[in-house]
Structure 1
Amino acid sequence: MSHHRALDYDYPKIRFFIQEQEMIEYVLIDQIQEAFDQFNRYLYSTLTTTIKDNQTNDEYLIRLFNELHDHVDLFEQMNEQFLDFLQFQIDWTKQSKAVLDAFSHFQITVISSNIKHAERYLSFLFTLFTVPENSIHDFAHDTLQRLMFTVPLASTLLCPIAERYFPFMTKDKHIQVLYVENLLRSLNYLPIERLKFFEIILTKLLRMDVHASRQDILRTEERHVENEMVFTLEQSDDRMKHEQADKLDWLMFILFEYITKVSHKDVQTNGVITQRFPEYF
C-alpha cells in the first residue's frame, strides 16, 4: 500500500477552525503528527499560531478543548510537544473560568486515558502556584483536587514535583511566599501528604538558614543601623535587612501560622467528640 493511499483512510477528525487565507475546516491528527515527524512544520506551525491568535476568543478555545476532549485517544501517538504548547504558550491568567474549566476537563481526561501525561500536567499546575493571581490559584487547586480524585495513582508524583518546583532560595520573597502558601493550601484536600510536604518546606528553610549565618545577619543589621543614623528621614521597620533572613522569617511565620490553625482545629474537633462520646475517653 502506498504512502498516499494510507492517508485516504477514514481517520477520526478534529475541527481546529484554522483561519488563514483559506479556511481549513478539518485537520487530521495523524497528518499533524506526520508533518511534525518529517520536519515539515507548516501545518503544526499554522495550528499553534492560530491558537495563540485566538487565545482571547473564549468560544474558539472552548470549542477546541471540547473537540480534543472527545478524541483523547489520539494523543497516544501524537507528539507531546503540542500538549506542552497548550500549557505553556497560552496566557492562562487572561482566560475566563469557562475556558479554564474546559481545558481542565480535557487534560484530566487525557491523563485518565494515559497516566504518562500526569507528570506534565501536575508540573504545569505547580508552576501556577507562583503566579500572583488568585483566580489562577483557585483553578490550580480545583483541578488538582479533581485530578487526584479521578486518577489516584497520580498522587505518587506529587512530592517529587512539589520539591522540583519549589522556588530556588535566590528567587523573590513574594514568589517563595506564594508557593509555600499554595503548597499548604493543597493540604486541605491532600491531608495524606502533610508530613511529606512539611519535610519539603523544612528542608528548604534549613538551606536558607545555612545561607543566613548569624555573623552575616549581624553585619547587615549593623550597616543598616549606621545608614539610618546618616539618613534619619528614612522610616525604619522591623523586617530583617538580610535578604535570606527576611525570607526565612516570612516562610517560618506562614508555616507556624498554618500549624497553629490546624492544631486549633484539631483541638476543637477532639473537644466536640469528647463531649458527645465521653464514655470512649
Structure 2
Amino acid sequence: MASVYSAKTGLSSILKAYTPTERVRAKNLAINKVRFEMPQQKGLKELLESANDDNNYQPLNEYIAFLKETDLSDDQFLTAMSSAHKLINELTPKFTNLVEALTSLSWTSRGSKAVKAFTEFYIDIMVAHNKYVQFGIPKLISLWIPADVDAPLWQNGIPTDDIEAKLEAIHILMNRILTAIPMSFEIVLEAIEHKFPYFKKDPHVIAGYIHNILWVTEYKPIFTDFIVQLIVKKLVILDVNAPRSEIEELDYDDEDEELEEENEDADIFEVDDCQKASTDYDIPPMKHVIAHTLDTCMEKMYTFLNTKNPNINGNAEQKLQLHNFWKVLLSAFDNVLLPSHNTHHVQFLIFYYCSFKSTLAEAFLSSLWDKIQNPNVSVVIRQAAVGYMASFLARSKFVSLTVLQNYLKELCNWAHQYIQRCDQYRQNGSLKANKVFFSLCQSIFYVIAFRSRDLTGDRKSLLFLQSLQLSAIVTCNFNPLRVCLPAVATAFAGVTRAYQLAYCHAILERNARRKLATVYANDTATAEETLDSFFPFDPYLLKMSINRITPHYMQYQASEAEEAAVVATHHTSSTLRHRKRGDSEMCDDIDDFIVADKRQKHRELARSQEREAQFTYGLSPGFHI
C-alpha cells in the first residue's frame, strides 16, 4: 500500500540509491539556493568586530563562502579588495581563512584597475603580516603551472600573447614581494621545487613551468644557480625515462623503413622541393611521450642559453653576469650531470653552450682534466670525466686541432707515467684496480680512431701521433685492449696499422683466443672483463631540438688510407649493411661506431663471423664507406 501511495504522490523511497550525476546536480542546486550578499565597507568591519568582540564567526564564514562560491564581477571584486585593504592591520593571522579566500580570487583576467587593486592588497597584507607569506607565495607559483586543457595556448612550450600578459602581471607581483620581503627568498625556493610538475605530466605543463621559473632569473639573478640546477635535475629524470633504445624503436624504425622505400622508388618518383622544405618546419611530435616532453623542454633551455651568449655585446655588469652564468652551468654539470648514469641528451646543454666560444670549450675540458688527474676524486667521477672528455673531443666541431692534440698529449703522458709507476711497484693489473687507467686508454683509442682524418691530415700531424708512443701503451703489461669495447679496439687497430703507429693485430688475436675459453654469461659474446663505457655525446635523437646541435656536431669520416683499405675488404662486411637503426649504431653508420647501451655485437653474425669482422683491418665497425 505504501509503495502504491509513493508512486501516486511522486515521492521516491528513502532507500533509493542516487547516481553520482544526480548527487552532483543536487549539490549544485543546493549551492545555488544559498545567496550571500556582498557586505559594504562598514559591513566587513562589523563582521570582524563581531568575530573579535562577540566571538561570532557565522556572518564572517558566510562572507568567506560568498567569496569562494561566487563568480565576482569586476565591481564586486574591486569592492572586496578595497574593503579588505582598508582593514589590513586588523586582518591578523586570526583571520587566515578570510585572507586565503581573498588571495585565492581569480584576478589575472580582470581589468587593469582590478589587477592593480589585487596586487596592492597582496603586497601590503604580506608586509603587514609575514605569516601570510607562507601560503601567499606558493599561491602565486601555482599560477605558473599551465592547466591540462591549455595545450593549445602553449605550442612547443611558448605561451600565446594573452597568456604572456597574464603571466607578466604575476611576475611583477612576485618581484615586488621579493623586493619588499627579503625573508621570502627561502620560501620561494622551496615552493619552486615543491611545485615542479610530475615528469609524466603533459609536455606543455612541464615546459610552461620551466618557462616561468626561468623568467624569475631575469629579475632575480640570485636564483639562477638554484633554478638551473633544479631544471637539470628534472630533465635528467625525463632523460633516463626515455631510453635510447625505446626512442629508436618508436621514432626511427619506421623512418628507416620509409627511407628504404624512398630509395627504392627514387628512379620513379620525385619529391617536390617545396614539400621537402615544408617538412623542416612541420616536425611532428615524437611518438615516445616522455621523449617529446624532453624535446620540448630542451628546446626551451637552448633558447634560454641563447640569451646568455657570452658573445653578446654589453656593459661591464652584463659581461660579469655572463661570466657568472658559466660558473652556474658548470656547477650544474659537476653536481648533477657528471654523477648521473646513462643520460643521453641533457648533457648537450653544456655542449651547446660551449659552442658559443672556444674559451668555454677549453674551460670545460680543463675542468674535466683537473678531475681526471685528482686522486682525491672518486673513481666513478674520474671515469665519467674521462668519458665526457673523449666524447667531447671526438664530437665537437668547435674544438680546434691544436686543443685536440694538446689533450691527447696530456692523456698519453699520464698513461705512460702510470705504466712506469705501476711497473715499479708491480701493481695488480685487474680492471677493478685500474679503472681510471683503462678508461683513459680507451678514450685515447676512441679519439684517435674517431678523429683520424684530422689527426693524419699532413706529415706534421703524423709526426705528432708518432710522438705519443702509442705502441708502449698498447703493449704494456696491463694490456688495455683486452678490456676495451671491441668496436673501439678494432677501429683503433685499423688506424694505427694504416699509418704504422702501432701493431695491435697480434694482441687482439691473443686476447680473442683467451676469450674463447671463457664461459660467457647469458651465452653472449662479451669479454670476461669489459670496461663499463659511457660516451655521453652519442648521436642526438630528439627531433625538434636537434637543429641546435647539428651545426656543431662531428660525424665520423674515415681517413683516405682507411677508405682505400675498406674498398679492398668491402666484401667481408656485406652481411652488416641491412639492419634497423636500433640494432647497433656502430655496425654500418658512417658517422657512429660507439653505442651508448653497448649493443656492439651484430645480431645477424655467428660468433666466428664476428671475430673475423673484428680483426679485418681497414674495416672496423662503423667505418663503412
TM-score bucket (shorter structure): 0.7 to 0.9
Matching of residue 44 in structure 1 with residue 61 in structure 2:
yes
| Structure with greater proportional helix content | 1
Distance 2:167 2:145 in 1: 9
Structure 2 unaligned residues grouped into runs of 5+: 1-35, 147-152, 154-162, 260-278, 321-625
Partner in structure 1 of residue 412 of structure 2: none
Distance 2:40 2:79 in 1: 16
Q: 1:248 Cα shift? A: 0.9
Distance 1:207 1:157 in 2: 24
CA separation of 1:23 and 1:66: change in aligned 2, threshold 3 A: closer
Q: How does 1:124-163 map to 2 (within 5 A)?
A: 124-131=139-146, 133-163=163-193
Partner in structure 2 of residue 268 of structure 1: 314
Q: How does 1:96-245 map to 2 (within 5 A)?
A: 96-131=111-146, 133-222=163-252, 225=255, 237=283, 239-245=285-291
Distance 1:159 1:251 in 2: 20
Distance 2:60 2:319 in 1: 63
CA separation of 1:218 and 1:137: change in aligned 2, threshold 3 A: same
Distance 2:318 2:119 in 1: 38
Deviations 1:173-215 (A, max 9, x none): 1111111111111111110110101011111111111211122
User: In structure 2, which of residues 54, 67, 87 is the aligned counterpart of residue 71 of structure 1?
Assistant: 87
Matching of residue 28 in structure 1 with residue 58 in structure 2:
no
Q: Which amino acid aligns with 2:143?
A: L
Determine helix, strand or coil for the equivalent of 1:212. coil
> Normalized against structure 2, the TM-score is what?
0.36
CA separation of 1:47 and 1:239: change in aligned 2, threshold 3 A: closer
User: In structure 2, which of residues 284, 293, 296 is the aligned counterpart of residue 247 of structure 1?
Assistant: 293
Partner in structure 2 of residue 19 of structure 1: 37
Deviations 1:67-109 (A, max 9, x none): 2122222222433222332333x33343222112211111111
Matching of residue 257 in structure 1 with residue 298 in structure 2:
no
Distance 2:285 2:210 in 1: 19
Q: 1:254 Cα shift? A: 1.1
Determine helix, strand or coil for the equivalent of 2:94. coil
CA separation of 1:25 and 1:246: change in aligned 2, threshold 3 A: same
Q: 1:256 Cα shift? A: 2.2
Distance 1:152 1:203 in 2: 26
Deviations 1:15-56 (A, max 9, x none): xxx637x989513214357444xxx4x541244326753612
- Identity of counterpart residues, as a percentage? 18
Matching of residue 55 in structure 1 with residue 85 in structure 2:
no
CA separation of 1:150 and 1:193: change in aligned 2, threshold 3 A: same
CA separation of 1:76 and 1:247: change in aligned 2, threshold 3 A: same
Query: How many equivalent pairs are there?
Result: 246
Partner in structure 2 of residue 5 of structure 1: none
Contact 1:212/1:242 (CA < 8 Å) preserved in 2? Answer: yes
CA separation of 1:51 and 1:206: change in aligned 2, threshold 3 A: closer
Distance 1:47 1:104 in 2: 20
Runs of 4+ in 1 over 6 A off after TM superposition: 226-229, 271-274
> Normalized against structure 1, the TM-score is what?
0.75
- What is the aligned-residue RMSD (CA, Å)? 3.3
Distance 2:61 2:67 in 1: 10
Q: 1:135 Cα shift? A: 2.7
CA separation of 1:167 and 1:222: change in aligned 2, threshold 3 A: same
Q: 1:255 Cα shift? A: 1.3
CA separation of 1:257 and 1:225: change in aligned 2, threshold 3 A: same
Determine helix, strand or coil for the equivalent of 2:197. coil
Matching of residue 92 in structure 1 with residue 128 in structure 2:
no
CA separation of 1:105 and 1:225: change in aligned 2, threshold 3 A: same
Structure 1 unaligned residues grouped into runs of 5+: 1-17, 230-234, 275-281
